[in-house]
Amino acid sequence: MTQPIDIPLCAAADPFPQAAHFRLPEGSCDTHAHVFGPMERYPYTPNRTYTPPDAAPGAYLHLHRTLGISRGVLVQPSVYGTDNRLMVDCLHYLRRQGLQYKGVAVVDAAVSERELDELTEAGVCGVRMNLLFKGGIAWRDVENLSRRLAERNWHLQFLIDVSEFEEMVPRIRRLPTPVVIDHMGHMDTAKGLHQPGFQGLLTLVREQKAWVKLSGSYRITHQPLPPYLDVVPFARALIAADPAQILWGSDWPHPHFNRAMPGDGPVLDMLADWAPDEATRHRILVDNPARLYGFPSR
C-alpha cells in the first residue's frame, strides 16, 4: 500500500526499553497504549494525520515485562477511525494468554447494540473522543452515545487540549458516564498552571467528575529529554487535586511525535518524582485502574 506524500510517517519507539529505577507494585496497569499494523491487514483511514510504523502485540508485551506491568488498556488510535478490528483481535489474543487487558474503542453515533455487545465481549469498556487529530469521534456523537454507554457502565475518554475546549466543565458535568482525560489535558506547559482550562480540569478532578491520565508528558513539555521538569508542577497539581482520580499510561509507541523519542523507563521514572509516596503510586498504578476498568482488586 502506497503512503500518500502529504501524510507524515512517525518515528518508531525504542525497541530496547529499559526498566524504571523503582519497583512497581504487583498489578500495575498501563492505561494508555496502541498497537499498529500490518497496514495490509488493518488499513488506515485515508483522512488521518499521521502514519505509524508497525507496533505489534509482542513488542507491547515485551515493554510491559520490562517495566513490571501486568495489566494494560489498549486505546483505539485515530488512524483507524471506527475500525476497531486490530484492537479487538489483540484483546482476544491477550485473553488467550491468560492476561488482563481492556480496550477503549472509537465508534460512530449509529453504532448498533450488537457491535457494542461484541466490543464488550472483547474487553472494551469505553469510547474515545478525539478532537485533536483527524479520524476521531466528534463531541456531538459522544452526547448522543453517552446515555447508551452509561447503561453499560462504560466511560468516555477525551483527547482534547483543555486550554482550547470551550465549556469543558459544564459539558463534562452533564454527562452520565465517567470521563477520562488523556495526556494531563494535552496543554502546553508554557501556558502555566493558572490557565483557566487547566484550572477547570483540576476542578473536575476534585469533584470526581473526571479521571486524568499521567501520560504523554513529552507532548506538553519544552524540554528535549526526560525528566521534563516543566511538567512536574502540572502532574503534582493533578495528583494533589484527588489521587483517587489519577491514572498512568505509557502512550507507547508514542505516535505522531516528531522530536527526540523518549525512553519508556525514563518516562516511567518521572512518576516516582511526581508521586514520591509509595501508597499514592499504588493507587495510581493499581487501585484506580482496577476501579475504573473493572480489573480484579489487589
DSSP string, 51-63: BPPPB-HHHHHHH
Write out the E strands in 42-143. Answer: 71-75, 100-105, 124-130
Catalytic residue among 30, 141, 182, 251: 251
Beta bridge partners of 213: 247
Extract the C-alpha cell encoding 164: 482550547
Across the strands, what pairs with 40? none
Cα 244 to Cα 289: distance, rounded to the nearest angstrom: 10
Measured CA distances, 93 to 58, 71, 101, 106, 123 (Å): 10, 14, 10, 20, 11
Q: Is-catalytic flag, 287?
A: no
Number of alpha helices (DSSP H) and beta strands (DSSP E) in the chain: 10, 8
149: which residues sit within 8 A by CB, 6+ positions away?
Answer: 126, 127, 155, 156, 177
Tell me which residue of 72, 26, 44, 50 sits closest to 264, measured CA to CA: 72
Q: Alpha-carbon distance 259 to 263, whole Å?
A: 12
Interatomic CA distance for residues 122 and 228, integer angstroms: 36
Active site residues: 251
